């Protein structure tokens, strides 16, 4: 099990991350420093931070679980991701940079109204709250394995540490630790592949067995809206999903605004996408190596039955002392980077968008932002218990939660960019209408089978496209009614 050397590695890692947070807490002069790093962050550092924001323990545990249970077809998501980079680079980033906003949702107030801005910020906060729940839930599974502690103890430990160093350091600490954490995270994946291949005999032998078992399949051109594992859903429809994340998520916008100019922001966005391809390939490979190790070569007996527990079992029971501590640190690294980004974005959104604080109150805003880090962290801890429900892979569950609120957000920004003359009330009503339309197509994975039956079942990549399309259409349909009412008054 876990040795003294393993614990030493984990403790040293957490001490180093806390030290970085304390260091940068002394260098944050005001709210702008805390949230945007002064606006001159290097594009390469921001690009690595962007991918570290996207990946987490959900990636470290979820991608291998997906490949272990199925195959590598979800790698097709990278096609949609690369396409979205061009859309965000040409449409979103220049408008954010030229508008002078401090928050993505401030632009919606400029185009429509403050209620529209607050509605968008609320939807975004709901989206991030569920994401934070998953970010706390996934590594807690590992902590439970190595300590024997119940889930609630592991979850509280993860949440408290993330809140501590995020509230101290802000965006500079988040970006610096993101770079360190990404390197540990990536190295951890390579170590998993190495020890799997070593147990089987060699990597080439492992790969041949995986091919024979059908695990290396990654292209599927069948058309099936109910499945996410085909080119149309994962590559074409997913473009809307990824554009919503990269173009409307305050975590991303915050980093675009922390660079020097539009070109630097686009370089950082492209860097994160290319690194994302490497991460996806690496951790899906981990999954098929684990499948060969346990199910084909039968190097070890696997006593667990849940796919999300395969990699934690391998780490704790198969890897040698010291290495397992490094791998646990890698999982924590992946999650801490994402958690700190979520908490920073939520505190910024709360202070700037929901509370509409004056930008001139820099010191007060900085103090409030730090307090909101703790309040949102506690709410995220509660959300982790909701995320623990259901028995599908962590990756599928995380992507489902992400898809719920991103479609209406994307619609709001597209309307703000191209149809700013629409009546704000029509836009608000359209947002809620888009969510209602989406409910007709949802299959909710955390609910017991049969509790909710969709009108027509589609896979999660379709969710943002459906709610975005419904919102845009309803906004145009409702606009004449509210315009006529305004004229008559």
Q: Which of 224, 280, 286 is nearest to 461 (CA)?
A: 224
State whether residue 196 is helix, strand or coil.
Answer: helix
Inform me whether the pLDDT recorded for 488 exceeds 50: no
Annotate 358-420 with DSSP letters as a single string.
-TT-HHHHHHHHHHHHHHHHHHHHHHHHHHT-S-S-HHHHHHHHHHHHHHHHHHHHHHHHH-T
Phi-psi region of 103 (alpha: psi -120 to 50; beta: other; left: phi over 0): beta
Annotate 112-175 with DSSP letters as a single string.
T-HHHHHHHHHHHHHHHHHHHHHHHHHHHHHHHHHH---HHHHHHHHHHHHHHHHHHHHHHHHH
Q: Would you say 384 and 105 are in contact if contact means Cβ atoms under 8 Å apart?
A: no
Q: Would you say 335 and 56 are in contact if contact means Cβ atoms under 8 Å apart?
A: yes
Tell me the two tokens of residue 329.
């640190």
List phi, psi (to 5°) of 226: -80, -10
Distance of CA 313 to the CA centre of its chain: 24
Length of the chain measured in residues? 489
Inform me whether the pLDDT recorded for 358 exceeds 60: no
Q: Would you say 99 and 350 are in contact if contact means Cβ atoms under 8 Å apart?
A: no
Inform me whether the pLDDT recorded for 37 exceeds 50: no
Phi-psi region of 298 (alpha: psi -120 to 50; beta: other; left: phi over 0): left
**Average of per-residue pLDDT across 40-68:** 79
* Confidence category of residue 396, pLDDT binned at 50, 70, 90: confident
pLDDT for the residue numbered 391: 62
* Confidence category of residue 423, pLDDT binned at 50, 70, 90: very high
Inform me whether the pLDDT recorded for 356 exceeds 50: yes
Share of the chain above pLDDT 70, in %: 84
Inform me whether the pLDDT recorded for 4 exceeds 90: no
- Burial track 394-424 (b if 16+ CB lie within 10 A, e otherwise): bbbbbbbbbbbbbbbbbbbbbbbeeeeebbb
**Average of per-residue pLDDT across 45-60:** 76
Distance of CA 190 to the CA centre of its chain: 22
pLDDT for the residue numbered 489: 39
Better-scored residue on pLDDT, 122 or 351 = 122
* Beta carbons within 8 Å of 324's beta carbon, 6+ residues apart: 2, 6, 315, 316
Give residue for tokens 């304390």.
Answer: 22
Residue 204, exposed/middle/buried by CB under 10 A (0-12, 13-18, 19+)? exposed
pLDDT for the residue numbered 144: 81
Tell me the two tokens of residue 139.
């590594």
* Confidence category of residue 35, pLDDT binned at 50, 70, 90: very low
| Mean predicted lDDT score pLDDT of the chain | 82
Better-scored residue on pLDDT, 122 or 181 = 122
Inform me whether the pLDDT recorded for 157 exceeds 90: no
Q: Give the model confidence (pLDDT) of 262-304 as tens digits.
A: 898 899 889 888 888 899 999 999 999 999 999 999 998 888 7
> Rounded to an integer, what distance in angstroms lies between the CA atom of residue 299 and that of residue 247?
45
* Beta carbons within 8 Å of 305's beta carbon, 6+ residues apart: none
Q: Give the model confidence (pLDDT) of 438-483 as tens digits.
A: 988 887 766 666 666 777 888 889 999 999 999 999 999 999 988 7
Distance of CA 396 to the CA centre of its chain: 12
State whether residue 42 is helix, strand or coil.
Answer: coil
Residue 27, exposed/middle/buried by CB under 10 A (0-12, 13-18, 19+)? middle
pLDDT for the residue numbered 24: 59
> Rounded to an integer, what distance in angstroms lies between the CA atom of residue 242 and that of residue 252?
12
Q: At what angle do helices 250-257 and 238-248 cross, to 10 degrees?
A: 50
Q: Give the model confidence (pLDDT) of 135-149 as tens digits.
A: 888 888 778 877 777
Would you give the DSSP letter of residue 56? S
Distance of CA 469 to the CA centre of its chain: 23
Give residue for tokens 């623990």.
Answer: 388
| Greatest CA separation for the chain | 80
State whether residue 110 is helix, strand or coil.
Answer: helix
């Amino acid at each position: 099990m876990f040795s003294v050397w393993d614990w030493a590695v984990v403790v040293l890692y957490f001490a180093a991350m806390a030290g970085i947070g304390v260091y940068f807490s002394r260098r944050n002069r005001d709210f702008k420093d805390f949230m945007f790093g002064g606006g001159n962050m290097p594009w390469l550092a921001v690009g690595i931070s962007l991918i570290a924001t996207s990946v987490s323990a959900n990636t470290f545990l979820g991608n291998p679980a997906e490949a272990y249970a199925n195959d590598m077809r979800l790698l097709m998501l990278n096609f949609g991701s690369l396409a979205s980079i061009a859309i965000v680079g040409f449409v979103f980033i220049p408008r954010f940079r030229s508008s002078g906003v401090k928050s993505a949702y401030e632009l919606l107030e400029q185009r429509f109204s403050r209620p529209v801005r607050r509605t968008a910020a609320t939807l975004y906060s709901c989206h991030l709250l569920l994401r934070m729940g998953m970010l706390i839930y996934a590594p807690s599974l590992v902590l439970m394995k190595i300590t024997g502690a119940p889930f609630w103890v592991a979850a509280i430990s993860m949440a408290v540490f993330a809140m501590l160093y995020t509230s101290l350091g802000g965006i500079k600490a988040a970006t610096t630790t993101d770079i360190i954490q990404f390197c540990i995270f990536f190295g951890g994946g390579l170590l998993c592949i190495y020890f799997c291949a070593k147990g089987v005999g060699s990597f080439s032998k492992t790969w041949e067995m995986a091919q024979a078992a059908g695990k290396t399949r990654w292209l599927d051109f069948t058309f099936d809206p109910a499945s996410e594992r085909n080119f149309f859903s994962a590559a074409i429809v997913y473009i809307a999903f990824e554009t919503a994340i990269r173009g409307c998520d305050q975590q991303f916008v915050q980093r675009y605004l922390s660079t020097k100019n539009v070109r630097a922001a686009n370089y950082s966005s492209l860097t994160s996408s290319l690194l994302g391809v490497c991460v996806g390939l690496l951790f899906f490979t981990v999954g098929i190596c684990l499948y060969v190790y346990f199910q084909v070569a039968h190097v070890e007996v696997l006593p667990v039955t849940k796919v999300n527990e395969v990699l934690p079992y391998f780490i704790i029971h198969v890897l040698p002392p010291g290495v397992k501590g490094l791998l646990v640190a890698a999982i924590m690294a992946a999650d801490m980077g994402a958690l700190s980004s979520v908490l920073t974005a939520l505190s910024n959104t709360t202070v700037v968008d929901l509370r509409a604080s004056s930008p001139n109150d820099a010191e007060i805003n900085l103090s409030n932002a730090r307090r909101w880090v703790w309040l949102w962290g506690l709410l995220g801890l509660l959300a982790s218990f909701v995320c623990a429900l259901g028995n599908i892979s962590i990756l599928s569950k995380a992507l489902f939660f992400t898809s719920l609120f991103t479609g209406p957000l994307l619609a709001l920004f597209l309307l703000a960019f191209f149809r700013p003359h629409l009546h704000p009330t029509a836009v608000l009503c359209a947002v809620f209408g888009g969510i209602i339309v989406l409910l007709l197509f949802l299959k909710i994975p955390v609910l017991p089978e049969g509790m909710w039956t969709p009108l027509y079942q589609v896979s999660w990549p379709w969710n943002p496209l459906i709610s975005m399309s419904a919102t845009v259409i309803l906004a145009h349909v409702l606009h004449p009614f509210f315009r006529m009412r305004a004229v008559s008054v």
